[in-house]
A and B are shown apart, each in its own frame.
Chain A
Amino acid sequence: MDAPAHGAVTIGRWALVSVLARSFFLQGSFSTKYRQNLGFAFCMDPIGRRLWTDDEDLRLFRIRHAEDFNANPFMVTLVLGAVAKMEESYRAGTHTESDIRRFKKVVGSATGSVGDRLFWGALRPVTALVALGAATIWGFWGFLVFLLAYNIPHVFLRWHWLNAGYRLGTDVAGELKRRPIERTINAANIAGAVMLGFIFSAHAAHLHDGRWWLSLGVAGMLAFSVAVVKLTRSVPMMFMTTLILTLVLAMVRAGALY
């Protein structure tokens, strides 16, 4: 449906700040069937209130944005900013409702792919490993290292993508293909692999007060765990079996079983 031209209205910075704050709660009512639909409507509401002062227009706005939607929760601000720009255009009569719907679906899915690899697949593991390393040096302050190392880029990128989405509108696809994102993912994977290998072997090689056989035990437990994971495809199942095996080893050592 084409909107009658209402004349140009801009959203303003405070509406965008409100959208940013709400974006942290995008998945507040995540459902299997509709996924982030309610969250998206919640995030867009300040935009709707700014653009549509008529109650009926606001209701139609909310219907538009309460449809099934899914995106990476850390990258969703790119979609929110761009859709905000499109809503301005829709109000001015230069975009249609179906343009907005199509755009949301396509760009939402694209952020899912890129954002999941960047945040869940790369940034989270590597910052966790940095924190574990920091914990061995600074004790309990390691958790602060993790929170800062993850959230400083995370919050910065949210704000950056919101502004980029609003600035670029429908030309936002280029933001997803930027080389720095791929380079960051690759660098994080490499750094994570090196760090995990180092942390694992440094601990396994440590002689535990002269009990060198424990280092062999760690290596053996690793091999056993890998086999169980590959067989059961379940990390909890693997961990349960390692816990039981550790307890059995303890009982054997204590002479309780023999």
Chain B
Amino acid sequence: MEPYVALALLAGIVAMDTTSGPQLLVSEPIVSCTLLGCLFGDPATGVLMGSLFQLLFLGYLPLGTVRFTDGNMAAVTATGSVLVAERLGLSGPDSHAVSILVVCALGMVAGSTGLHLRSWERDLNGRRSESFHNALLAGTNVAPGVVHLTGLVLAFCKGLVMAAVFIPAGAFLCWAATHLPADIDRAALVVLPVLWGGVCAPGLLLFWFKGERRYLALGTLGGIVWTLLHTVL
């Protein structure tokens, strides 16, 4: 029972930490997915999923009122799904690669849902802010603490609800993936590394448009040289 409770708590903390507070970046995929992996006894999957989503959302700038896909919850729901499916025996080593592809897609759906939920959450916060301000203007000396911290609780609950909806759905999809021919999963395992090109694209574009092209080129060359030396030696 304990990893599932910890999973729910972590989902709530990630939802809270993304915007509401304390913004210690525990919500970042490299942290949350690794912790999930450790909780479920599969840190390698946690680190893999965390790395994929961290790179994918490297260039995201959650500035002010900008609307952005909830990449942190996308990572948690995707990683949680594959780990829960493994623990419950719904998926096995014969469908691991396809499961990862499928839960990543589900994660994107969760991220988009998170975007809309955040808009709704902000509207609610706006109404409570207005009530607080009106109460002060009307002569009632209300302390901001309880009104303000209710927003944190709302964000936490949003994370719990998203985990409760998307992780079971993801685990089901992992189970469904076991019904595909084993050849497809073996082939997916071989082909999976090409995904690296996709997840690195946003980060590379970020630095490209920042004008750091020659340093990108320098790093790229360094990586190739390092790999060749590593292979030769």
Contact = CB atoms under 8 A, between A and B. Distances in A.
Interface stretch (B6-14, B62-70, B85-93, B159-167): B62-70
B34 A142 contact: yes
B47 A45 contact: no
A56 B187 CA distance: 72
20 contacts: A32-B123, A63-B136, A66-B133, A131-B30, A147-B25, A193-B212, A193-B218, A194-B216, A198-B223, A199-B219, A201-B224, A204-B197, A214-B194, A218-B197, A235-B60, A242-B197, A243-B105, A246-B191, A250-B188, A254-B183
A30 B20 contact: yes
Interface string B150-180: 1110010000000000000000000000000
Contacts of A196: 58, 200, 203-204, 207, 216, 219
Interface stretch (A86-94, A162-170, A205-213): A205-213
Contacts of B190: 211, 214, 250, 253
Main secondary structure of the interface of A (DSSP, over half): helix
A29 B150 CA distance: 7
Interface of A: 24-35, 37-39, 41-42, 45, 55-56, 58-59, 62-63, 66-67, 70, 73-74, 112, 116, 120-121, 124-125, 128-129, 131-132, 135, 139-140, 142-143, 146-147, 150-151, 154, 189-190, 192-208, 211, 214, 217-226, 229, 235-236, 238-240, 242-244, 246-247, 249-251, 253-256
Contacts of A243: 101, 104-105, 195, 198
Interface in B177-213: 181, 183-188, 190-207, 210, 212-213
B151 to A, nearest CB: 3
Contacts of B69: 235-236
A222 B149 contact: no
Given A193-B207, A247-B98, A200 B148 contact: no
Contacts of A193: 207, 210, 212-213, 215-216, 218-219
